[in-house]
Chain A
Amino acid sequence: MEITRLTAVELGKKIQAKEISVREAVEASLDQIGRVETDINSYVTVDREGALKRAEQVQAQIDEGSLAGPLAGVPVAIKDNMCIKGMLTTCSSKMLYNFRPAFTAEAVVNLEKAGAVILGKTNMDEFAMGSTTETSYFGETKNPWDLRHVPGGSSGGSCAAVAAEECFFALGSDTGGSIRQPSSFCGVVGMKPTYGTVSRYGLVAYGSSLDQIGPIAKDVTDCAAVLETIASHDRKDSTSVARSSYRFTDALKDDVKGMRIGIPKDYFGEGLDPEVRDCVLGAAKVLREKGADVEEFDLKLVQYAIPAYYVIASAEASSNLSRFDGVKYGYRTEHYEGLHNMYKKSRSEGFGAEVRRRIMLGSFVLSSGYYDAYYLKALRTKAMIKQAFDQAFERYDVILAPAAPTTAPELGKSLSDPLKMYLGDIYTVSVNLAGLPGITVPAGKDAKGLPIGVQLIGDCFREDQIIRAAYTFERTREYERPQIAKEGK
């Protein structure tokens, strides 16, 4: 049997039924990593010994009946901006090239309690700043569908690892689309929950008011099961929300009859690749045929989301990344004269170009004289964008949109023009600004054979609606695997 092609939930069932041992599952993932990793570079760290050792412990607990959940024994990959005690956690930056945290992120603790086995840490854009995974200090990750293309970003390593079947599911983080866009580019399912649903404790902060951890998997069922496991009210994260229910898998229903789905007309204009447009509108047609009421509407303010996002995200980044100073952990420059020179040289040498660019912009928009004109203006714009979504959700249960204007660009084509790269986030950033849940599901491929995802956006705390719509849509098509995944055993 080809173990690696199973979904996480399918594997979990077979492990409970004793058809597959935890060790076999872990070895299957490690073998696949060994086979494809030199081509794809999804991982920064693979913890072979740790995973095999953990497999034995989890198997023992399953055998004695103390671990019976859907993810017990299932191998997982974690984006390298989530702390795991004792395991290298780099954020794909030279700044943290040797950092081993003294504690574990709450979302990862929740996975460990459920018996998931951690294979290692996945590659990303440095400090999650980027849309291609090319700003990583540890080299770019390649798209499993075509190695000449990027996997997207910033959770590019996690999405590529799932698509190439180097793990059964992964965790990513999404500040402006960093789960949903690479999921679209890699042909997998990725979900950003409502802000506050998953604890940010132990997630290295980029834009704290926007960051959320979420699942990346082969299907919607896995995403719902993983979210159900990692979501929790955590007193260690002061923005963590106590939700009335965490039973996200209850929403896995093949039924959208009467569901009101809105398509923002303003998302389908200039700049959207015609192949992506046709594919996404095709998904809308499928949902209409399944009984949903689908109509177009004007969302408004769409063109202001990116400028507002980059002001807010850069401002928060400049503040959050001030902790990297070469004193307590991470990189310290070799030669320096005095404390301030040590700070400046360590930071300038430790951070890459994109991170320095955003810290500079963030410091500028927060500086006296510019704070009102830029930072407060962006926060006011954010309030208006949130209001536009509130109005939309009075009329619709779900908003259907592209995840990105194009399919995955070729390697080496994006970083030279940062502004152009930022514009690619047009369909994802407003969801973070408004704190909404969003999910990307594979919907087709372009003429080059690269995947296209459709994004479904819900109102705050209404993951159930987008899970139901995504599940219903997914049931109408087969999951497609890239050739490189099929070369496994």
Chain B
Amino acid sequence: MANQISDETIEYVGILAKLELSGEEKESARRDMEKMLDYIDTLNELDTDGVEPMSHVFPVNNVFREDVASNADNSEDTLANAPLRKGQSFVVPKTIG
């Protein structure tokens, strides 16, 4: 039952997770994940047929409000945290070729 994670899967998960892993890190990520999944597989002993997945313990409904600003403009405080800014904008690398 031991899980085996292929190179392609680790590569794919790295893309989903937006993480760049070195060769060594990939190896350790694979070992960690295989070990965890072997353990998580104990859930398969449990018969969950017909049980609804529960994402929240209480019924959660959408909370609506009027679309009226309740806070003041604090764009300066927000922009102050930018790693790189230009005027009132965040600077990012070129995204369109």
Identify the A interface with B (CB < 8 A).
85-86, 98-100, 102-103, 195-196, 209, 235, 238-239, 241, 301, 303-304, 306-308, 310-311, 318, 322, 325-332, 336-345, 347-348, 351, 356-357, 359-364, 366-367, 374, 376-384, 386, 418-419, 434-435, 460
Contact = CB atoms under 8 A, between A and B. Distances in A.
Given A304-B43, A386-B54, A435-B58, A347 B90 contact: no
Select the residue from B18, B63, B81 with max chain A CB neighbours within 10 A: B18
Interface of B: 9, 12-14, 16-21, 25, 29, 32-33, 35-37, 39-44, 46, 48, 51-58, 60, 62-63, 65, 71, 74, 77-78, 80-84, 90, 92-95
B92 A377 contact: no
A333 to B, nearest CB: 9
Contacts of B80: 100, 102
A328 B82 contact: yes
B77 to A, nearest CB: 4
Contact of B43 (A98, A308, A342, A356): A308
Give chain B's interface secondary structure class. loop
B40 A332 contact: no
Contact of A361 (B33, B44, B90): B33
Contact of A209 (B40, B44, B55): B55
Contact of B29 (A332, A342, A357): A357
Given A363-B17, A377-B43, A338 B57 contact: no
Nearest to B83: A332
B42 to A, nearest CB: 6
Select the residue from A332, A360, A378 with max chain B CB neighbours within 10 A: A360
Contacts of A386: 54, 57
Nearest to B56: A209
Select the residue from B46, B52, B78 with max chain A CB neighbours within 10 A: B46
Nearest to A367: B16
Given A195-B58, A209-B56, A303-B42, A361 B36 contact: yes
Contacts, number: 163
Given A99-B81, A380-B54, A304 B19 contact: no
Given A304-B46, A380-B52, A383-B51, A328 B57 contact: no
B92 A304 contact: no
6 contacts: A86-B77, A99-B81, A356-B17, A359-B19, A386-B54, A434-B57
Nearest to A332: B83
Contact of A381 (B12, B21, B46, B63): B46
B74 to A, nearest CB: 5
Given A367-B13, A419-B39, A326 B33 contact: no
Contacts of B43: 304, 307-308, 311, 377-378, 381
Nearest to A312: B55
A339 B92 contact: yes
A74 B18 CA distance: 43
B78 A339 contact: no
B53 to A, nearest CB: 3
Contacts of A460: 57-58
Given A238-B63, A331-B83, A347-B19, A102 B77 contact: yes
Contacts of B46: 301, 304, 381, 384
B54 A383 contact: yes
Contact of A235 (B40, B55, B63, B93): B63
Contact of B60 (A238, A322, A332): A238
